[in-house]
Amino acid sequence: MADEKLTEVTRVPLWDPEQDDVLVCRQVRQETHDVKTFVFSGREPRAFRFYPGQYMTFDLPVEGMVTRCYTISASAARPYRVEITVKRVPGGPGSNWLHDYMVPGKEVNVSGPGGEFTADATGEDKLLFLSAGSGITPMMSMTRTACDLSEPSDLHFVHAARSPADIIFRDELALLATQNPSLKLAFTCETASANHSWSGYTGRLSLQMLSLMSPDFLERKIFCCGPALFMEGVRNMLQQAGFNMEKYYEESFDFGAETAGDLEEYASVAPEISDQTFRVSFPKTGHVVECGPGMTVLSAAREAGLLPVSSCQRGICGTCKSKLISGQVDMQHGGGIRQREIDQGKILICCSTPLSDIEVEI
């Protein structure tokens, strides 16, 4: 019997993109203040076959329906669940929707996996992963997969973040590096923040810095993923160093060039400029929360554990109209509030981002 030859003791059927299209959310993890990991499996048990670095395409019920591609961050060697790791993006309806509404038990329609950006870190090539921001997700999938299968052969993992608080998977990477001597880590943060001590590299990734992080980078195959400006900087840097660009691979989160992706969402990711957070206070309940860049007051309220009524999430319906007691916000509303109400100190919290510490009455 053919079945007897399977090593697959659970005999779980393969996820078949031609047949299967519904994922069920099983777990949500808060990775950083504005990044969450969403863990999915099929309705019935399914084994997912994908290459680390591939993405799945999600249909999200925002503005009728939007389609968004998210890289699988999970290990391809743990095939029964897939994970995506998503950063909340100001003005990004897809990521905001996931952050605000995707909870265990919720179902979502998907297609894929797809994509060509993959590397076998257990192979003979010496590898260098260069990522910035949420561009870490394909690298994480490749790294986790390699660690699960055996051990990366020789992998330098360099990641650039805005601040120490923004380093996604920091603890897990540290653990993997402890267990796998062939994995070397280096982080750089654009700025250190007052709240976290930081002894790593500081500033934008430079050639000089890279030479210290990965002295033999010229001999490596390089995989790069991050905001467009970051990748452009890396390309220039490598060319300047005389790197053989045939060994350079990059993945843009602007999938638009290859598939149905989202330019707008990507565009708003690009300028990762500041790690400034503002204190958002809700004096009525006594909740206080630190609000990261681009985070709406509504999201901040949810982070604080409050559930203010809201509906459209983009300033059209006016359901979330609240009183701004102090401070300034940037409000990009869609007609859900009148100038006279704004003059009276009202804001729509779903489309307002703090420009200072603020107090809001909800």
Partner 1 sequence: MRSTSEIQSLVNRRQKNKSLEAPFYNAAEILDLDIDVIFGKHWIFVAVDPELPEPGDCVTVEIGNASILILRGDDMELRAFHNVCRHRGARLIDERATTIGNIVCRYHGWSYNEDGELILAEHMGSGFDKSCHGLKTVHVRSIAGLIFICLAKDAPEDIEDLARTMEPYIAPHDIAHCKVAHSSELIEEGNWKLTMENNRECYHCEGNHPQLTVPLSEFGFGFSPDELDERRSGDVKKYLESVARDHQRWESCGLPSAEEDHLANVTGFRTMRLPLSWEGESHTLDTKVASKKLLGSFTDAKLGGLSFWTHPNSWHHFMSDHIVTFSVLPLAPNRTLVRTTWLVHKDAIENQDYTLDNLTQVWTMTNLQDAMLVRLAQLGSEQPAYEPGPYSTFTEPHVEAFCDWYIKRLQNHFAETKAELAAE
In the three-class reduction of DSSP (H, G, I as helix; E, B as strand; rest coil), residue 305 is classed as coil
Stretch that binds partner 1, among 17-25, 45-53, 136-144, 335-343 (CB under 8 A): 335-343
Stretch that binds partner 1, among 22-30, 84-92, 160-168, 327-335 (CB under 8 A): 327-335
Q: Is the CA virtual torsion 47, 51, 55, 59 positive or negative? A: negative
Please tell me whether residue 307 binds partner 1 under the rule CB under 8 A. Answer: no
Measured from the CB of residue 331, what is the shortest distance to partner 1 in angstroms?
A: 12
Please tell me whether residue 93 binds partner 1 under the rule CB under 8 A. Answer: no
Please tell me whether residue 107 binds partner 1 under the rule CB under 8 A. Answer: no
Indicate left, alpha or beta for 112 from its phi (over 0: left) and psi (-120 to 50: alpha): left
Please tell me whether residue 337 binds partner 1 under the rule CB under 8 A. Answer: yes
Strand partners, 38: 28, 84
Two tokens at 224?
């790069």
Q: Is the CA virtual torsion 298, 300, 304, 305 positive or negative? A: positive
Cα distance between residue 193 and residue 199, in whole Å:
12
Cα distance between residue 296 and residue 312, in whole Å:
14
Cα distance between residue 63 and residue 314, in whole Å:
10
Site for partner 1 in 55-84 (CB under 8 A): 61-65
Residues comprising the chain, all counted: 362
Looking at the Cβ atoms of 311 and 356, the one nearer to partner 1 is 311
Please tell me whether residue 335 binds partner 1 under the rule CB under 8 A. Answer: yes
Measured from the CB of residue 261, what is the shortest distance to partner 1 in angstroms?
A: 16
Measured from the CB of residue 87, what is the shortest distance to partner 1 in angstroms?
A: 23
Per-residue contact flags (x/-) with partner 1 for residues 12 to 51, judged by CB under 8 A: ----------------------------------------
Which residues lie near partner 1 (CB under 8 A)? 61-65, 311-312, 316-319, 333-341
